[in-house]
């Protein structure tokens, strides 16, 4: 594989693990605010990010390249509101989408079809990764800071199904 692409994929492991850290920090904030449904939703989001990192980890190894783990930055832990968190989530996911697109272009330039096919999954996934916080922000606009609405949404988000992630990064049963 192209060495720059391997390096960038290793960096992507770090970005995905940072995403998991960031969403765990957000989950902890929600717990401190007694919003257990939002906290549950963010914990699942964090697990998903770990599974994204594992997909890169496994792919790099399967291609006979070296995985190089790096230190994970400390995430922000100060948030001002539910809205603030989902705005930061959307901004972060847009950043991740850009990094996936950059990897895609690199793989295309190198005619690395195996990497292109691997990255296809992430290109599709990022559509959902941006849609989720964007949909929640859309609903929050109607609710504002109104307590009842936030509590109703908290109940709604508590129903997010808990997937079982396999070490491959895949979800059991899919
Ligand atoms: Fe891994 O997609 Fe979100 O960050």
In short, whether 129's Cβ falls inside 6 Å of ligand 1 is yes
DSSP 27: H
In short, whether 55's Cβ falls inside 6 Å of ligand 1 is no
Give the pTM: 0.94
Handedness of CA 173, 43, 54, 133 (dihedral sign): positive
DSSP 169: S
The answer to whether 16 and 49 have CB atoms below 8 angstroms apart is yes
Q: Which atom of ligand 1 is nearest to the CA of 92?
A: 4
Summarize the confidence of residues 161-168 as an average pLDDT. Answer: 84
Name the residue among 66, 64, 71, 81 with its Cα closest to residue 7: 66
The answer to whether 75 and 25 have CB atoms below 8 angstroms apart is yes
Q: Which CATH number fits domain 3-70+80-157: 3.40.50.2300, 1.20.1260.10, 1.20.58.1610, 1.10.10.10?
A: 1.20.1260.10
Report the SS3 class of residue 165. Answer: strand
What's the pLDDT tens digit per position in 30-88?
999 999 999 999 999 999 999 999 999 999 999 999 999 999 999 998 999 999 999 99
Report how far residue 147's alpha carbon sits from residue 35's, in angstroms, rounded to the nearest whole number. 11
Question: How high is the pLDDT of residue 163?
Answer: 84
Partners of 165 in beta bridges: 171
**Domain positions in the chain:** 3-70+80-157
Q: Which of 17, 53, 129 to mutate to test the pocket of ligand 1 (most atoms within 8 A of CB)?
A: 129
What's the pLDDT tens digit per position in 91-127?
999 999 999 999 999 999 999 999 999 999 999 999 9
Q: How high does pLDDT run on average in the chain?
A: 95
DSSP 72: P
> How does residue 168 score in pLDDT terms, banded at 50, 70 and 90?
confident
């Amino acid at each position: 594989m192209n060495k720059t692409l391997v390096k960038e994929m290793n960096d992507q492991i770090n970005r995905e693990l940072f995403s998991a850290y960031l969403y765990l920090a957000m989950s902890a904030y929600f717990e401190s605010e007694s919003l257990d449904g939002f906290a549950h939703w963010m914990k699942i989001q964090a697990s998903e990010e770990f599974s994204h990192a594992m997909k890169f980890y496994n792919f790099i190894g399967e291609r006979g390249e070296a995985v190089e783990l790096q230190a994970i930055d400390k995430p922000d832990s100060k948030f001002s509101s539910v809205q603030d968190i989902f705005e930061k989530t959307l901004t972060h996911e847009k950043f991740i989408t850009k990094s996936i697109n950059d990897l895609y272009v690199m793989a295309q330039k190198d005619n690395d079809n195996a990497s292109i096919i691997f990255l296809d999954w992430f290109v599709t996934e990022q559509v959902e990764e941006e849609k989720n916080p964007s949909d929640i922000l859309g609903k929050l606009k109607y609710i504002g800071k109104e307590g009842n609405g936030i509590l109703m949404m908290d109940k709604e988000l508590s129903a997010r199904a808990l997937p079982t992630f396999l070490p491959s990064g895949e979800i059991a049963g899919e």
